[in-house]
Amino acid sequence: MRTKPVLLVIAHGSRDPRHAATVHALVRRVRSLRPDVRVETGFLDFNIPSVQGVLESLAAEDVRDVVALPLLLTRAFHAKADIPAVLRDAPPQLRIRQAEVLGPSPLLLSALERRLYEAGLTPADKSSTGVVLASAGSTDPEAIAVIAEIAREWRHTGWCAVRPAFASAALPRTEDAVRELRALGCSKVAVAPYVLAPGFLPDRIARGAAEADVLADVLGPAPEVARVLLDRYDAARTPVLAAVGA
């Protein structure tokens, strides 16, 4: 019986120790959901092990099939350029497929709502609460458009209003979106960080939420995030298995 491809989760990395701790917590949840899958973690910058280091270690163990999964919510620069460049430098005996990024996904909307309810909202608050969908931001127009579309879709699930906001590279900022929702007449305003782990930009989102009534936590190791991650792995590994005759 052929073994399943190794799942290599590729995280950005950060000088903030909370980032790596949150990534590892998410990976532990993934492992608990699928103990039959070997899951490794590599970082693009700041943290160890590096992606290249993990790939070289796998090759030294005679691993052949790897699914590389970007721990990203949108297809921006890292997914389109950085990660493919690192994977091109992998040991040649490895057969690697790059999985899709995590977003968009209905499961991620469920995770956002989980975090808002954990922060104090209830389902009964939805119709009177405006939500700021606060992302890190990007210079990639495709990524910005995806965030705006997610906000539009989320509005149709019953919230008073949903507005996108960005911590960098695009406007509006979180604080401006909070004020806009106040002006619209929403009884409460909540900020939902559409980010996976703590760090510099999530801290900027938190500061921008100073005038909001509720600030949710980052998505982190929410069970819905782990499920999306495994969905992306399964979708990517099927062609791998077909290619090797499994």
pLDDT in tens, 207-227: 999 999 999 999 999 999 999
pLDDT of residue 244: 41
Residue 138 has φ and ψ, to the nearest 5°, of -160, 155
Q: Are 189 and 129 in contact (CB under 8 A)?
A: yes
Q: What is the pLDDT of residues 90-147, one digit of tens each?
A: 999 999 999 999 999 999 999 999 999 999 999 999 999 999 999 999 999 999 999 9
What's the whole-number mean pLDDT along residues 76-87? 88
Sheet with 6-11, strands from edge to edge, namely 39-43, 6-11, 65-70, 95-98
Is 245 a residue whose pLDDT tops 60? no
pTM strictly above 0.85? yes
Q: What is the pLDDT of residues 33-54, one digit of tens each?
A: 999 999 999 999 999 999 999 9
For the purposes of burial, counting CB atoms within 10 Å of the CB of 72, is it exposed (0-12), middle (13-18) or buried (19 or more)?
Answer: buried
Is 206 a residue whose pLDDT tops 90? yes
pLDDT of residue 181: 98
Instruction: Please report which residue ranges of 156-222 form alpha helices under DSSP H.
Output: 174-184, 200-208
Measuring CA to CA, which residue among 113, 127, 202, 116 is closest to residue 158? 127
Residues 6+ positions from 172 with CB-CB distance below 8 Å? 163, 164, 165, 166, 180
Residue 116 CA to residue 6 CA, distance in Å, equals 33
What's the whole-number mean pLDDT along residues 161-165? 98
Residue 99 has φ and ψ, to the nearest 5°, of -75, 165
Between 18-27, 56-65, 76-85, the lowest mean confidence (pLDDT) is in: 76-85
Q: Other C-beta atoms within 10 Å of 110: how many?
A: 17
Assign 239 a pLDDT band (cuts: 50, 70, 90): low
Amino acid type, 21:
A
